[in-house]
Structure 1
Amino acid sequence: MSETVTGGLAAEIAQSMPELRGRLIPEASLAELTWFRVGGPAEVLFTPADEADLAYFLKRLPADVPVTMVGLGSNLLVRDGGIRGIVIRLGKGFGQIELQGADRLRAGTAVPDVKLARAAADASIAGLSFYRGIPGSVGGALRMNAGAHGTETKDVLVEARAVDRNGEIHVLSVAELDYTYRHCGAPEDLIFSEGLFQGRPGDQAEILAEMNEIANYREEVQPIKSRTGGSTFKNPAGHKSWQLIDAAGCRGLEVGNAKVSELHCNFLINEGGATADDLETLGETVRARVKESSGVDLDWEIKRLGTRG
Structure 2
Amino acid sequence: MITTENKYKPNTTLQPKMVCKDHLVSGEKFNIEEYEKGILKTHPVPENLPRYYESEDYISHSDSQRNFQDRIYHFVKSHMLSKKAKWIYRYFKQGSILDFGAGTGEFLNEMKNSHWIVDGIEPNNTARNLGALKGLNLKSEISELENKKFDVISLWHVLEHIPDFQNKLSELKTLLKDDGLLIIAVPNFNSYDSKYYNENWAAWDVPRHLWHFSRNGIKEKFAEHGFKLVNEKPLKFDAYYVSLLSEKNKPKSSNLLNAIYRGFLSNQRAKSSGEYSSITYFFKKESKT
Answer yes or no: same fold by TM over 0.5. no
Higher Rg: 1
More helix by share: 2
* TM-score, with structure 1 as normaliser: 0.24
* TM-score, with structure 2 as normaliser: 0.25
Bigger RCO (CA 8 Å, 6+ sep): 2
